[in-house]
């Protein structure tokens, strides 16, 4: 079980749940229709694969919404990467010639 959330995290979680409810009705309807249209004999196999695919799409939307929210919540751009240093001096790999 994850650790308890801070108040800010709890608010973000509530916002994410609301966005998920608003943006995933089509997937939830597809899942419900798949289940209702199946029989006990066809519940597993192809039906199970289709349901797992829909569940993965739901999870992908959750990630997309979360990352989009996180991106817009940033207050400042990330700092630039430090400049690369000078490459090391080359050293001979063979011994000196006589």
pLDDT tens, 4-58? 889 988 988 898 888 888 878 889 999 999 999 999 998 899 999 999 999 999 9
d(CA 62, CA 23): 9
Q: What is the rounded radius of gyration, in angstroms, for the C-alpha atoms of the chain?
A: 26
Q: What is the pLDDT of residue 54?
A: 94
Structure tokens at 24: 């995933």
Count of structural domains, the chain: 1
In a domain, 96, yes or no: no
- Residue 26 is part of which domain span? 7-71
Q: What is the pLDDT of residue 53?
A: 95
Phi, psi (deg, nearest 5) at residue 58: -60, -45
In a domain, 85, yes or no: no
In a domain, 33, yes or no: yes
In a domain, 26, yes or no: yes
Q: What global pTM score does this model have? A: 0.60
Structural contact between residues 25 and 16, judged by C-beta atoms closer than 8 angstroms: no
């Amino acid at each position: 079980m994850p650790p308890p959330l801070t108040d800010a995290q709890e608010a973000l979680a509530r916002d994410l749940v609301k966005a998920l409810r608003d943006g995933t009705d089509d997937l939830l309807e597809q899942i419900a229709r798949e289940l209702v249209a199946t029989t006990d004999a066809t519940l597993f196999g192809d039906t199970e694969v289709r349901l797992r695919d829909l569940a993965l799409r739901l999870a992908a939307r959750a990630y997309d919404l979360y990352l989009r929210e996180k991106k817009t919540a940033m207050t400042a751009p990330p700092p630039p990467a430090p400049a690369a240093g000078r490459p090391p001096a080359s050293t001979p790999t063979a011994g000196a010639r006589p």
